[in-house]
Chains A and B, each alone.
Chain A
Amino acid sequence: MNEAKKAADYRSELKPIWCPGCGDFGFLNAMYKALEELQLDPANTVVCSGIGCSSRISGYVKAYSFNGIHGRVLPFASGVKMSRPETTVIAVGGDGDGFSIGAGHIGHAARKNINITYVVLDNNIYGLTKGQASPTTPLGVRTKTTYYGNMGTTFNPVRMLIAYKASFVARTFSGDPKHIQKILVEAVRHPGFAFIEVLSPCVTFRGQDQYKILRERVRYLDESYNPENEVEAFDIANDENMLALGVIYKKIRPTYDEIIQQNVISKAKAASNGVAKIDKLLEQFQP
């Protein structure tokens, strides 16, 4: 434990089986490096995922890994964090897992400010099931379930997360692993619910030109940008032509754990002159 860990120490014995050229490789390599930079103890690091191509990541990181149910990564990441607050919990999933079947959970993990990092590797398609439309598939795009062109407009995840009052909202890009590493380190260090959208091309079902298209559509937020201004953050999120990369919104507020500590446990200890005792407490409840 005393020796410094290297990125390779966070590699599990499983080899990724993503398609060659998948954007998720860029994120995974950056994640190993971020874990090295953070020097996280694998035994107290939890990588959770649901189901999808990107959700395979929990198997590829040497940590305590959790491969759960499609769309439910945030509830079980919350369950782990509530039960073991001292662990670092990183939830990873895709746009189908997070914004379609699991969309109902995001706002609640965000508003409760549960101290976890949630990374969505957004490839605008269902990859594992081989190419159906997802909530971020662009309008008009033809997929295996949108023969006549996608008829719905796309989710704007960054705008959605700012609206949900997530305390940290960032966007990064698989084509720039150094940037991913920087953002992921900052997100893990952020005290509260941190959301990262990673633009992570699916070259198999969205085309080989996705990297080129995205490179022309991204821009970096400069140093002078203040992410604490919610109105400005919305303006940046609203620009769907040029996608801003960086920390778009950030607001420090108490986490769910901290609120429990402040509102409940300290009072219980004061009332019982030390550690709360079960038999004394059992007499108190009046519904």
Chain B
Amino acid sequence: MSKVLIKGNEAVVRGALLAGCKNFFGYPITPASEIAEAAAYYFPLLGGTFLQAESEIGAINMVYGAASSPFRCMTASSSPGISLKMEGISYIAGAELPCVIIDIMRGGPGLGNIAPEQADYNQIVKGGGHGNYRLITLAPNSAQEMCDLTMLAFELSDKYRNPAVVLADGIIGQMMEPVEFPEPVQVIPERPWALKGSADSHNLVCSIELEPDRLEEHNRKLQEKYAGISRQEIRCETIHCEDAEHIFIGYGVVSRILHSVVESLRAEGIKAGLLRPITLFPFPAPQIEHFAASKKLRSFFVCELSAGQMVDDVRLAVNGRKPVHLHTRMGGNVPSVKEIVETFKASL
């Protein structure tokens, strides 16, 4: 298939369809609405369902219901809408059902604004809902990855029977770029537990365990699953890191700005590198630890469109071995290359 100039948000929908997703439940919200709009056009044509729910709460509960069927399902929203979905997300994780949730992050807290931010890191990666659960979290930095990582989200969600989130800032959702679409997924994994007619079974989907020992056992089983995900599924991109004295860390649109920062510093003879987490859970802590242990490395420099949320995970991985500097922008502002270079030089 040739390249198509397309918005990140639409690339998500095409990726979902190529991954065999059948059911979409959504609710309009800027800057994520194009996902629901494209889904409303495509899903029924391919024999699937698009349903505009009465609320974000309605949409996530429709996903909860549809996730127990043999077919892939999804929803999409932006930060305040994702907050509303949190109760449902906790239940889906507790019941171990697969589904994909797209979060196109906007400015907060509260109504905030519709400009890009990355301030949902904590509510998605750390768990905004109640209980000990984790969400597989993928962070695209291009329209191409909006498609590719949506497809990967479906794959990982099925593999681990766990909700997977594509966490993108508003710029990545709204930006148009050429995208090359891969071939459709041919085989979708069997779901032997799903609602499809198992003659004499009494299948009960729930997240309740009244007996403390059994609930603890369920929690331990979930933690083992998350540990397995952490061992198996880390993805990150490194550029110029092997000889780097300073490593810049950022995800989403920030990683693209940091790439320019690194190239401009290299042109000045400063040995800079870029580490871009593609998975936020699992977080590329082992990769960061590796560089933190390096004698060459002098400092890490984190940049986020938030007050600094991912930086906590970087600091845990670095564990005091090297200084970790932080540059933040909020409210929909995006840092320039010049601004980051200046802050970096001031930190030396």
Residues of A within 8 A of B (CB): 1, 12-13, 41-44, 46, 48, 58-59, 62-69, 72, 74-84, 87, 104-105, 107-108, 112, 256, 260, 264-265, 268, 276, 278-279, 281-282, 285, 287
Contacts and interface: CB of A to CB of B under 8 A. Distances in A.
A147 B251 CA distance: 55
Give the dominant DSSP class at B's interface: mixed
B153 interface: no
Nearest to B38: A285
A260 B49 contact: yes
A68 B91 CA distance: 8
Contact of B65 (A65, A78, A285): A78
Contact of A69 (B37, B73, B88): B88
Chain B: interface size category: 35 or more
A285 B42 contact: yes
Interface in B195-245: 195-206, 208
Interface of B: 1, 4, 10, 14, 17-18, 22-23, 25, 34, 37-38, 41-42, 44-47, 49, 51, 53-55, 57-69, 71, 73, 87-88, 91, 181, 184, 195-206, 208
Contacts of B195: 46, 64, 80, 83-84, 87
A127 B41 CA distance: 44
A78 B17 contact: no
Contacts of B196: 84
B10 A84 contact: no
A43 B197 contact: yes
Interface centre among A65, A75, A78, A107 (most CB of B within 10 A): A75
A65 B204 contact: yes
Given A44-B197, A65-B204, A278 B184 contact: yes
B204 A82 contact: no
A104 B181 CA distance: 39
A65 B193 CA distance: 12
Contacts, number: 154
A80 B196 CA distance: 11
Nearest to A111: B54
Given A104-B55, A285-B38, A80 B69 contact: yes
A78 B51 contact: yes
Contact of A75 (B23, B44, B58, B68): B58
Given A68-B61, A76-B65, A83-B69, 12 more contacts: A64-B68, A75-B53, A75-B58, A79-B67, A82-B62, A83-B66, A87-B195, A107-B54, A265-B44, A276-B46, A285-B10, A285-B41
Contacts of A41: 197
A13 B202 contact: yes
B51 A82 contact: yes
A281 B23 CA distance: 17
Contacts of A12: 202
B32 to A, nearest CB: 14
Contacts of A104: 54-55, 58
Nearest to B53: A75
B206 A83 contact: no
A48 B202 contact: no
Contacts of A83: 22-23, 49, 65-66, 69, 71, 73, 195
Contact of A80 (B14, B55, B65, B184): B65
